[in-house]
Amino acid sequence: QVVTALKSENESLKMGLNALKSGYEQVIKENETLKSQLEVIASGEIEQWEPDENSVEQEENAMILDDGSEILEKEETDSSLIDGMINSLTAYSRDRDREAENDGPDR
């Protein structure tokens, strides 16, 4: 019964880990798209609308670009943290597998 419970819990962990990885990969793809769009805008490849001098829109556009850069920097930090969490969960899952195998069907 203990082995069955451990195996069941481990399967649940694996499913959660796979869902986390899938969501994480989607976030990475979306961030890459946003990053490339920001880089194109920043490089001036897209002709940008030129507001009147000293306009509120110009200031807002500058703030949006600054926010985008901060978001990208934060995303890199978040990616490292999430990678660490995934690695920890994977190691924990492997340990539980070994535990279940070592306990064997006798328990």
User: 86: which 2 tokens?
Assistant: 């995934």
Per-residue model confidence as pLDDT tens digits over 27-83: 888 888 888 888 877 777 665 555 556 666 667 766 777 776 676 667 777 777 777
Give Cβ neighbours of residue 1 (< 8 Å, ≥ 6 apart).
107
CA 84/CA 104 separation, integer angstroms: 30
Which tens digit of pLDDT belongs to each residue from 71-90? 666 777 777 777 777 888 88
